[in-house]
Structure 1
Amino acid sequence: MNRSKDKLTQGIDWPILGLYLALVIIGLLAIFAAEYREGDNVIQNILHLQKNYSRQLMWFGISIILASVIWLTDSKFFTATANLAYVFGIILLLLVLAIGKDVKGSHSWISVGGFQFQPAELTKLFTNLALAKYLSSLETDFSKLRSRVIAAAIAMLPACIIVLQSETGLALVYLSFFLVMYREGLPGVLLIIAFSAIILVLSALLVDKNILFGIFTVAAAIVIYFSRYEIKRKRSRLAVIISVWAFCSIFVMFVVPFIFTKVLKDYQVRRIEVMLGKENDPKATYNTRQSMIAIGSGGLFGKGYLKGTQTRFDFVPEQSTDFIFCTIGEDFGFIGSLVFLGLYITLLFRIIFIAERQRSTFSRVYAYGVASIIFFHVAINIAMTIGLAPVIGIPLPLISYGGSSLMTFTMLIFIMLRLDADRQMVLR
Structure 2
Amino acid sequence: MNRAQSKLTQGIDWPTVGLYFALVIIGLFAIFAAEHRDGDNVWHNILAQNKNYARQTMWLGVSLVLATLIWLMDSKFFTATANLLYAFGILLLLLVLAIGHDVKGSSSWLNIGSFRFQPAELTKLFTNLALAKYLSSLETDFTKLRPRLIAGAIALAPCAITILQNETGLALVYFSFFLVMYREGLPSALLVIAFSAIVLVLSALLVENKLILFIIFTVLAGLTIYFSRREIRRRKSRLFMIIGIWAFCSAFVTIVVPFAFTKVLKDYQVKRINVMLGKENDPKATYNTRQSMIAIGSGGLFGKGYLKGTQTRFDFVPEQSTDFIFCTIGEDFGFLGSMIFVGIYVALLLRIILIAERQRSTFSRVYAYGVACIIFFHVAINLAMTIGLAPVIGIPLPMVSYGGSSLMTFTMLIFIMLRLDADRQMVLR
- TM surpasses 0.5: yes
Shift of 1:141: 0.4
* 1:269 equivalent in alignment to 2:270: yes
Per-residue deviation, residues 1-60 of structure 1 (Å, max 9, x unmatched): 110000000000000000000000000000000001244355555555211011001001
Q: Take 1:39 and 1:106, find their aligned partners in 2: how far apart are those partners?
A: 34
- Specify the SS of the correspondent of 1:88: helix
- Specify the SS of the correspondent of 1:108: strand
Structure-1 residue corresponding to 2:416: 415
Structure 1: which 5+ runs fail to align?
none
1:273 corresponds to which letter in structure 2?
N
Q: Take 2:231 and 2:92, find their aligned partners in 1: how far apart are those partners?
A: 56
Q: CA RMSD in A?
A: 1.0
1:107 corresponds to which letter in structure 2?
S
Shift of 1:114: 1.1
Alignment map for 1:88-107 (pairs within 5 Å): 88-107=88-107
Structure-1 residue corresponding to 2:283: 282
- Specify the SS of the correspondent of 2:307: coil
- Specify the SS of the correspondent of 1:102: strand
Over 3 Å counting, the alpha-carbon distance change for 1:297 and 1:160 in structure 2 is same
Aligned residues of 1:45 and 1:54 also touching (Cα < 8 A)? no
Q: Take 1:58 and 1:25, find their aligned partners in 2: how far apart are those partners?
A: 13
Q: Take 1:312 and 1:425, find their aligned partners in 2: how far apart are those partners?
A: 53
Structure-2 residue corresponding to 1:5: 5
- Larger deviation: 249-258 or 77-86? 249-258
Q: Take 1:46 and 1:8, find their aligned partners in 2: how far apart are those partners?
A: 33
Per-residue deviation, residues 150-174 of structure 1 (Å, max 9, x unmatched): 0000000000000000001100000
Q: Take 1:400 and 1:198, find their aligned partners in 2: how far apart are those partners?
A: 28
2:249 corresponds to which letter in structure 1?
C
Aligned residues of 2:382 and 2:396 also touching (Cα < 8 A)? yes
Q: Percent identity?
A: 81
Structure-1 residue corresponding to 2:125: 125
Q: Take 2:110 and 2:39, find their aligned partners in 1: how far apart are those partners?
A: 35
Shift of 1:229: 2.2
Structure-2 residue corresponding to 1:204: 204
Q: Take 1:111 and 1:308, find their aligned partners in 2: how far apart are those partners?
A: 35
- Specify the SS of the correspondent of 1:359: coil
Q: Take 2:10 and 2:196, find their aligned partners in 1: how far apart are those partners?
A: 46
Aligned residues of 2:37 and 2:314 also touching (Cα < 8 A)? no
Per-residue deviation, residues 337-375 of structure 1 (Å, max 9, x unmatched): 000000000000000000000000000000000000000
Q: Could you state the TM-score of these two structures normalised by the residue count of structure 1?
A: 0.99
Structure-1 residue corresponding to 2:135: 135
1:247 corresponds to which letter in structure 2?
F
Aligned residues of 1:231 and 1:238 also touching (Cα < 8 A)? yes
1:425 corresponds to which letter in structure 2?
M
Per-residue deviation, residues 256-285 of structure 1 (Å, max 9, x unmatched): 111111111110010000000010100000
Structure-2 residue corresponding to 1:159: 159
Structure-1 residue corresponding to 2:332: 331
Q: Take 1:100 and 1:231, find their aligned partners in 2: how far apart are those partners?
A: 57
Q: Take 2:305 and 2:38, find their aligned partners in 1: how far apart are those partners?
A: 16
Shift of 1:332: 0.4
Aligned residues of 2:180 and 2:370 also touching (Cα < 8 A)? yes
Over 3 Å counting, the alpha-carbon distance change for 1:116 and 1:43 in structure 2 is farther
